[in-house]
Structure 1
């Protein structure tokens, strides 16, 4: 995780108002765009990326590809920019929580099936357009309302591959609890990686925990590669 505080500053046409959240790959701010009199979400990537000479071109290429995605279950990207060694994405601002937060309460099977269907539809659309997400997990899904999930962070994992090399963090970009075996091994990935991660997320929604747990992230990654998937019926015998 990196430390950066831009509240009160301006990036491009956007005045940063407050911090929404932070993860290992980016800091998200609420920002105001005076030209269109609207609030947006600004996702700012780590400054270390400026050390990679090829990142600027890769970032622009990925941002343009992601911005073309137009699906009701994908959070739209409005624009992108680079300033003072910082790269950022401009997205629709959604005053909402995440699916991860929603999973703190019991979820019915019909509800789980509907949420999974919508995310699956978004992934199918993205894959048909040649884009793989690479980091499907509940915290990357915003809930615009009770039954409307929005998948975020398309392309971010691919953009961050250079940061992983520069900082020496882990075997690959992604989240160990949801990482596909091929991704965990640093192999080439395709749309099946996203489907695997969606399946892990489905398991978690139904059972209440992810199928593989261990004391360290690397141990979790190794379980994805070598361990058989636990049967949901064993973890929850009362499943219909």
Structure 2
């Protein structure tokens, strides 16, 4: 059984086999690559600056096919399909795609830069700071954003009103990012399924996505729909609110068997005092039969909002912002210092580029 993901941020270490490391900052078309964020799978991801001649500046993220794979038509098709899907989306809880194209025969996508952390990093940092992990109100604020983003994605229609049938297929802590200002964003549509013309359907013995967040029907090889994303959101909610991984079998096969065959642990068995109303929501999202789950992300969103009202849980976007800034205060300071440090290099690159044009 193989696990297949188009994510360049899937945890694989950067590979430099056969290639000398790039010297950064570096000009890449109209963008300046500042630093490499991750590399693995089919692509590498960079933090970049887009600067116009009128003083406009914007940080973006560049997803670029790995040089060793840039001649693979199937990978190019996957990247362009990701761009087509993402370009149709415009929602506060979904990462925005600005541009796609080719520079020096290398295909890329330019996306919104989210100055923040993925949920996996937040869970780890919170656990180190406090045995209680993520405060409940902030975990619920994050999952509300996930549900709102999924509701938009699943309901998205084309210009002619035809449902696009988008299924993300890779909802996981790594693909939910929370900005330091409290914005929640779903990222990475590299293996999304849609009615825009999938370049690669599921094949025998190939599973698309991260094993530990796959729905039982996905594991069984059945064709999946939007309810697979709801199951994955339930896993993320379980892990944020208990501080423990739900499916971690030691091997890929054991993880799949846990999802498909085992009884799932109750959140209250892991974390004493776990709210009964929240446990009910988690368990419904994690129903093995998709017919028994929430039938839409909108329905799950409404259930969480009702819990917040009934239990008077102090969910607040401003509160999430303050907590994120506090949790990552040191990292924010280092990032600001590092960004200031490359400004002079960027100016030098821009000056050289401009001089070259006027020769």
Same fold (TM over 0.5): yes
* Aligned residues: CA RMSD: 2.9
**Distance across 2 between alignment mates of 1:55 and 1:207:** 37
1:53 equivalent to 2:73? Answer yes
User: Aligned equivalents of 1:145 and 1:22: distance in 2?
Assistant: 23
The 5 Å alignment of 1:143-162 reads: 143-145=178-180, 147-154=182-189, 156-158=190-192
State the structure with more CA Rg.
Answer: 2
Contact 1:99-1:143 within 8 A present in 2 as well: yes
State the distance in 2 between where 1:161 and 1:237 align: 46
Indicate conservation of the 8 Å contact 2:166/2:192, yes or no: no
Please state whether the residue corresponding to 2:188 is helix, strand or coil. coil
Show the counterpart of 2:15.
3
Contact 1:171 1:185 (C-alpha < 8 Å) held by counterparts = no
Displacement of 1:135 after TM fit? 0.8
Per the alignment, residue 259 of structure 2 pairs with: 224
Does residue 73 of structure 1 match 2:93? yes
Alignment of 1:176-187 (within 5 A): 176-187=211-222
Q: How does 1:76-225 map to 2 (within 5 A)?
A: 76-83=96-103, 86-104=106-124, 105=126, 106-129=133-156, 130-145=165-180, 147-154=182-189, 156-158=190-192, 171-225=206-260
Question: Mean Cα displacement is larger for which, 204-213 or 8-17?
Answer: 8-17
Secondary structure of the corresponding residue to residue 221 of structure 1:
helix
The 3 A distance-change label for structure 1 pair 49 and 131 is: farther
TM-score normalised by length of structure 2: 0.58
Alpha-carbon separation, structure 2, partners of 1:137 and 1:20: 18
Residue 18 of structure 1 pairs with residue 35 of structure 2: yes
Structure number with higher relative contact order (C-alpha < 8 Å, ≥ 6 residues apart): 2
- Take 1:187 and 1:52, find their aligned partners in 2: how far apart are those partners? 28
TM-score (norm 1): 0.84
Shift of the 226–46 alpha-carbon distance from structure 1 to 2, 3 Å rule, reads: farther
Structure 1 residue runs without a partner (length 5+): none
Q: Contact 1:47 / 1:85 at 8 angstroms: preserved in 2?
A: no
